[in-house]
Structure 1
């Protein structure tokens, strides 16, 4: 049993659970106790509690109600909010306008843009920008009046508190912070870890750069922000790591090639056969024919075959009927549907990334 005084942060609870599984299974099932493991969200909440106070978030419904009231005051009674220009008058009636404004305010928070800073923006459409700025300011004022905060306010409060160099009891027991699989550094996260690195070493672990710029360009662009700090980076460093070669390494490398060369036909047969039919019953008949042919031509034993289905429930009776007619011995094991299996989701996620043109969210997932 080993204890560590390094705090490792992960982007999601699923990624944290995977890291714990790897540690539990290391060296034949020996458990490695590492209390310094948290998700990014839990870390931010803990910091907020130490530096700002009790975190009182306004839920999505609460934020919607508050902004709706602000919009009613703004567009329905221009005297309620000073200098209402009416540049966006009527827009509030369009479906999705309220959600769009909430999304915009959250993005402004990720950029650490306060209502006062937003009001200084001039350019494309001054009257519309003015309306949005006044909505933003009135919305935050209402949140504060109700004693709650939204993500944008919480982020600014946390970064401002860090810049005051107030003590953080939570971090005193750790000698360093390590970021695993966290590559999206908004202005908020950039300032967050830049400020933390003035107190405690921060290490960002990232995959080693390679030629796949189109697929992973956003990652190198994000890390470049820290590299450009130079001597101002304080105790922050970037560690590049090579992914271990695994059984899917060849497949992964080919999928993410930007200009893949045509490969000669693989003389080896694929160990996985994908069978489809016009109906479930027809699919099982095709499976039965394939099993009989392989056993006859290749000399396989029945135990050499496994059939994976999307969901065993609609197939169970069909399998029993078809396999008994074909005299194929079988046993059924019920598990989670294939589309919900973590391994299947992880394996298929690379195809989602390719299909979306390597969208940042899909590559991270």
Structure 2
């Protein structure tokens, strides 16, 4: 198994160089890396959850600083931390329930003391420990009848008690790590199937002979439209080109290749076309805590036009894109990229920035 530190350094390099494109791919690789960190982390007998949380936080801080633009990284880290706390609380609740059941059984056994021989303190302690311990070969071997019970000295009883406690703690630590890894696997599966889960609701939103407007290129939107077409929905899509990067051209070509009625329009024609549109469906880079979205440049203009003409404005995003932060200005600062692919530099001291994402006010979004 590769060293976890090497995996972390490799992923940090990819984040810094922006070699991973898309929030879904970033979120999935983050979850896979954290799963490796958890599986290879050695945890003590006490404070197992705290040890896992500290390990995940140490790696998470480095990942977030490597590329602050990808908010999905921080979202997945917080999800994993929440999973660890939930699983630890679940194991604690189960242990407390086991103690309550053992106390009830002890009370019932006291009423039958006249019918059974009196057991030694060591035997009673061993029996109570067996009820709390999970099934194992050692537990089965120690579950002997009273006639085969051999008296032990106090020192041997103390040693067995210490061994049982250490075994209980070791089994609990293994159980915690196993449950956390299983929950992280479910999170990875949820990320892998996010497009399919969103596309299943396409029929509920897109109706027959509707006209839909979208902007830019989004795989979630593409799968959403294709799912509606597979359900025999007939509709037309207007795609705004999304200058200056013209991502709408890519989406329009893919929609035409899938057999959808598609019309490519300029960004300046959005306000003129919005009155003929039944719904606006777009993708987003992130969904903020206040309901606003961070999306490609030009979406705020589309949202204003939709609000002016009372057109429903629907945003499609997976759960890994839901961010907790409200510091939109700080997040947008990192979306400033070079313009060398847009304009030519004629002087060495020229400096230009191109914004790739912008914030859309949450009051303009209806879904």
- The structure whose RCO (Cα within 8 Å, separation 6+) is larger is 2
User: The TM-score by the shorter chain falls in which range?
Assistant: under 0.3
- Give 1 or 2 for the bigger CA radius of gyration: 2
Query: So what's the TM-score if we normalise by structure 2?
Result: 0.21
More strand by share: 2
Query: So what's the TM-score if we normalise by structure 1?
Result: 0.21
